[in-house]
Amino acid sequence: MGEDLVTRSEFDTALRQAWESIDEVHENMATFLDAFDKRAPSQSRWCWRSAAGEDRRQMWEELGEWVEWFNTRYGSAGGKVTIPPCWPLHPVAIEELTGLMLAWTGAYATDAPPDAVLAWHDRWLWPCLDRLHTKPGTFEHCTMTKHELRHTVEVPQDAHRAALDQAMTADHEAAAPEEDPA
50-93 per-position pLDDT tens digit: 888 999 999 999 999 999 999 999 988 777 888 999 899 888 99
With CA atoms as reference, report the closest residue to 149 among 92, 65, 82: 92
Please give the torsion angle defined by the CA atoms of residues 163, 166, 170 and 172, in that order, rounded to the nearest 10 degrees. Answer: 110
12-21 per-position pLDDT tens digit: 888 888 888 8
pLDDT at 153 over 80: no
Q: Determine what percent of the chain is predicted with pLDDT higher than 70.
A: 86
- Using the 8-state DSSP alphabet, how is residue 137 labeled? T
Q: For residue 140, what are the CA distances in angstroms to 35, 39, 45, 172?
A: 47, 41, 29, 42
103 vs 149, residue with greater confidence: 103
Q: Which residues of 54-70 are buried (b: 16+ CB within 10 A; e: fewer)?
A: eeeeebeeebeebbeeb
pLDDT at 150 over 80: no
Using CA atoms, how far apart are residues 58 and 102, in angstroms rounded to an integer? 15
pLDDT value of position 76: 80
Q: Which residues of 4-36 are buried (b: 16+ CB within 10 A; e: fewer)?
A: eeeeeeeeeeeeeeeeeeeeeeeeeeeeeeeee
Using CA atoms, how far apart are residues 49 and 132, in angstroms rounded to an integer? 20
